[in-house]
A and B are shown apart, each in its own frame.
Chain A
């Protein structure tokens, strides 16, 4: 039976149309038609522009009659469109007065902010014919994916081990040996690898449609791109150039397939989302979408109509405006319901706390709405709790006990300590304990612990370079962070010196040991587990090249490190006391404190003193944590340049110390840890760590 509100009332050329439905915004399939709905507060009129795929000129333009507008929303239902060959855009009429923040220009065709697919960049790095007139156009997709019973996994947050990756970098290198290199599909071929490594969550750097040609340039004959994509063109559309099937218009299906397969293998998917700014830049930037639809609503503007730039990227989204807030909510709900996304990491999230004048708010309505949203009820929300305008909110990001944070203090502290700065020892004890000083009342899983991420050096580079080497980025090495807390171990870059290479390997093992034995959620950077290098480049945002592409051949050369990381992950997963939900450190049923710190002599450590040598010990109560038997986990850390002997704590009679991992040697699989010959002392080489376990 045909619904009454799907009978055409108007006709233009051979195309029938009628007033549409306000919700949902965007272009949606209805009975025999497509429903278009779009917001603009300040416009005086709007026109729907329809194209045949790839054609320069539209085949029809349909102005919205006044009776098709409800409030600030223009709606229209159009019948008889072939959705597989149709592209669409809008023109908006209204005043052009930059001093008032109004940039209407009806000569420009604009992209629907709710477009579910965007044309024009369906093959990575290949320009379409539009030249400078290129317009991102919307495409209409089917949302009837066969999930085969899948849904978001809802792994308890404290059990996560996150693995951050760039979709293209992960498999683009020939050495990845996947069929569809650099694509979503290629990623599915690496799922067995991820599963074997033991991570249960991947975090994808931006996968919303962006334009790799934004600010593209050539340096010494090499093309530089907007490679990372922290500059969104459309928040509802997957990056088509990441999909092998985008030329067939099936990028959404392909991404959903990857997510379904990851879920089937117990791996969650987080998206890195960039709501702080858009690809439209400042006054000089292009008018792609928001600027021409409703500049004043979507962006933070000075009283004179200039763009505030708290993002460092030209503009700042007006996140706490009611319309923009709903836009962001709609977007995230869409990714959770349509794509089964498990969580989000918000880039420069502190911008989301700013009001319409740019001032930070105590209780930002957007963050509160996200924290309490129905659809996002069990979705992980992770903030990068700072912005480029000087806000730094690590430990104070408004959370409603829902948000967790990238713990930048953890990264800085561990890096400094491991390279030999004893002054950060007192802080390190807090960081290892889950950063209760920052997240008191919330729990360790509010802290996303990491040593490395896409920003900055890879772990191998962190132990191989004192200075950044970003010349290939074409900015005379000015770009990228100067404060890396890195140490090259005695030579800058590649070296044949065995002692230096051995030390580097040990330092990488030390970092992984501290990271995976700390309370709080560990996040690894993809490739670090086999010493991936960016050759000292600490800001590879523009490098679509061997600089960024993970070289899987290094996995063969660094098998020892890979095994080490893999076993430490397995060890973490086998011992819930490390992944505790609460900051429990007091005495438990084992009769020992659940988490204790020690010097080279047990129980003797002044936690306020500087130092480079210490140990920490978890007492795992088998009843509380549901394990088979009580266990003690002892982690010895020597960041000193001299060898040290650690006297081991006395443990209950019948228990014996076993070796789990020695940075100077190997790590063992769970249950196969060899018994230590000397049950009273552990000798640690200079700059080394070890993990022991005691059980009956």
Chain B
């Protein structure tokens, strides 16, 4: 299960994820984010309530990062230790901006 909460403030968009981002939920997140990015300059992903991220989840983050590289910036905030650990061992931490 994944809950997605979006909060928009002009060109700034904050998306908070709660639950698990895996093969089942990643397509849903991908669609949601695709629809909302058009005028966004600053994207903030708040992962404080994200319990688990899988290979599919990492890939959606990465493709979102690629998209934002062309139109603004993206930061990943408040990731839990378990999630941070996955970013770190796979090297995704190098590509994402973690805060």
Given A144-B59, A146-B62, check contact A84 B54 (CB 8 Å). Answer: yes
Question: Which residues between 493 and 523 of chain A lie within 8 Å of chain B, taking CB atoms?
Answer: none
Interface 9-residue window, one of B1-9, B73-81, B89-97? B89-97
CA distance A93 to B55 in the complex (A): 35
Q: Does B56 contact A (CB under 8 A)?
A: yes
Determine if B89 and A185 form an interchain contact, defined as CB atoms under 8 angstroms apart: yes
* Interface flags, B53-91, vs A, CB<8A=1, else 0: 011101100100000000000000000000000101111
Q: Does B36 contact A (CB under 8 A)?
A: no
Given A146-B62, A146-B95, check contact A84 B90 (CB 8 Å). Answer: no
Determine if B24 and A82 form an interchain contact, defined as CB atoms under 8 angstroms apart: yes
Most buried by B among A141, A146, A188, A244: A146
Closest partner residue, chain B, to A244 (CB atom) = B89
CA distance A244 to B84 in the complex (A): 13
Partner among B55, B88, B91, B94 whose Cβ is within 8 Å of the Cβ of A84 = B55
Chain A residues within 8 Å of B54, by CB: 84, 248-249
Determine if B91 and A254 form an interchain contact, defined as CB atoms under 8 angstroms apart: yes
Determine if A245 and B89 form an interchain contact, defined as CB atoms under 8 angstroms apart: yes
Chain B residues within 8 Å of A141, by CB: 55
Determine if A84 and B22 form an interchain contact, defined as CB atoms under 8 angstroms apart: yes
CA distance A257 to B92 in the complex (A): 9
Closest partner residue, chain A, to B24 (CB atom) = A82
Q: Does A610 contact B (CB under 8 A)?
A: no
Determine if B90 and A245 form an interchain contact, defined as CB atoms under 8 angstroms apart: yes
Chain A: minimal CB distance from B56 (Å): 6
Give chain A's interface secondary structure class. loop
Determine if B95 and A248 form an interchain contact, defined as CB atoms under 8 angstroms apart: no
Chain A residues within 8 Å of B22, by CB: 84
Chain B residues within 8 Å of A249, by CB: 54-55
CA distance A84 to B94 in the complex (A): 24
Q: Does A211 contact B (CB under 8 A)?
A: no
CA distance A536 to B94 in the complex (A): 42
Give chain B's interface secondary structure class. helix
Chain B: minimal CB distance from A244 (Å): 4
Q: Does B11 contact A (CB under 8 A)?
A: no
Given A244-B89, A257-B91, check contact A142 B55 (CB 8 Å). Answer: yes
Determine if A82 and B90 form an interchain contact, defined as CB atoms under 8 angstroms apart: no
Determine if B89 and A84 form an interchain contact, defined as CB atoms under 8 angstroms apart: no
Q: Does A687 contact B (CB under 8 A)?
A: no
Chain A residues within 8 Å of B95, by CB: 146, 148
Chain B: minimal CB distance from A187 (Å): 12
CA distance A245 to B88 in the complex (A): 9
Partner among A82, A180, A245 whose Cβ is within 8 Å of the Cβ of B23 = A82
Q: Does A260 contact B (CB under 8 A)?
A: yes
Determine if A180 and B55 form an interchain contact, defined as CB atoms under 8 angstroms apart: no
CA distance A245 to B91 in the complex (A): 10
Determine if B56 and A250 form an interchain contact, defined as CB atoms under 8 angstroms apart: no
Determine if B91 and A253 form an interchain contact, defined as CB atoms under 8 angstroms apart: yes
Determine if B90 and A257 form an interchain contact, defined as CB atoms under 8 angstroms apart: yes
Q: Does A83 contact B (CB under 8 A)?
A: yes
Determine if A261 and B91 form an interchain contact, defined as CB atoms under 8 angstroms apart: yes
Partner among B24, B59, B89, B91 whose Cβ is within 8 Å of the Cβ of A142 = B59
Determine if B86 and A250 form an interchain contact, defined as CB atoms under 8 angstroms apart: yes
Chain B residues within 8 Å of A254, by CB: 89-91
Determine if A180 and B89 form an interchain contact, defined as CB atoms under 8 angstroms apart: yes
Closest partner residue, chain B, to A183 (CB atom) = B89
Determine if B90 and A253 form an interchain contact, defined as CB atoms under 8 angstroms apart: yes
CA distance A257 to B54 in the complex (A): 17
Determine if B86 and A245 form an interchain contact, defined as CB atoms under 8 angstroms apart: yes
Chain A residues within 8 Å of B58, by CB: 250, 253
Determine if B91 and A248 form an interchain contact, defined as CB atoms under 8 angstroms apart: no
Question: Which residues between 22 and 66 of chain B lie within 8 Å of chain A, taking CB atoms?
Answer: 22-24, 54-56, 58-59, 62
Determine if B23 and A83 form an interchain contact, defined as CB atoms under 8 angstroms apart: yes
CA distance A82 to B59 in the complex (A): 15
Closest partner residue, chain B, to A81 (CB atom) = B23
Chain B residues within 8 Å of A183, by CB: 89
* Interface flags, A76-87, vs B, CB<8A=1, else 0: 000000111100
Chain B residues within 8 Å of A260, by CB: 91
CA distance A148 to B94 in the complex (A): 11
Chain B residues within 8 Å of A148, by CB: 95
Chain B residues within 8 Å of A85, by CB: 23
Chain B: minimal CB distance from A252 (Å): 9
Determine if B62 and A253 form an interchain contact, defined as CB atoms under 8 angstroms apart: no
Closest partner residue, chain A, to B57 (CB atom) = A84
* Interface flags, A258-275, vs B, CB<8A=1, else 0: 001100000000000000
Closest partner residue, chain A, to B54 (CB atom) = A84
CA distance A253 to B59 in the complex (A): 11
Closest partner residue, chain B, to A180 (CB atom) = B89
Closest partner residue, chain A, to B93 (CB atom) = A257
Most buried by B among A82, A84, A144: A84
Chain A residues within 8 Å of B55, by CB: 84, 141-142, 248-250, 253
Closest partner residue, chain B, to A86 (CB atom) = B23
Chain B: minimal CB distance from A197 (Å): 23
Question: Which residues between 230 and 245 of chain A lie within 8 Å of chain B, taking CB atoms?
Answer: 243-245
Chain B residues within 8 Å of A142, by CB: 55-56, 59
Chain A residues within 8 Å of B89, by CB: 180, 183, 185, 243-245, 250, 254
Chain A: minimal CB distance from B87 (Å): 10
Chain A: minimal CB distance from B7 (Å): 28
Chain A residues within 8 Å of B23, by CB: 82-85
Closest partner residue, chain B, to A246 (CB atom) = B89
Chain B residues within 8 Å of A244, by CB: 89
Determine if B86 and A248 form an interchain contact, defined as CB atoms under 8 angstroms apart: yes
CA distance A84 to B89 in the complex (A): 18
CA distance A85 to B91 in the complex (A): 22
Chain B residues within 8 Å of A84, by CB: 22-23, 54-56
CA distance A244 to B54 in the complex (A): 14
Chain A: minimal CB distance from B85 (Å): 8
CA distance A248 to B58 in the complex (A): 11
Chain B residues within 8 Å of A245, by CB: 86, 89-90
Determine if A250 and B62 form an interchain contact, defined as CB atoms under 8 angstroms apart: no
CA distance A245 to B24 in the complex (A): 20
Chain B residues within 8 Å of A144, by CB: 59
CA distance A634 to B59 in the complex (A): 56
The 7 closest A-B pairs by CB, nearest first: A257-B91, A244-B89, A245-B89, A253-B90, A84-B23, A185-B89, A82-B23
Q: What are 10 pairs between A and B in contact, CB < 8 Å?
A: A141-B55, A142-B55, A144-B59, A146-B62, A185-B88, A248-B54, A248-B55, A253-B58, A253-B91, A254-B91
| Given A188-B91, A248-B54, A248-B90, 7 further pairs, Cβ under 8 A | A84-B22, A183-B89, A245-B86, A245-B89, A249-B55, A253-B55, A257-B90
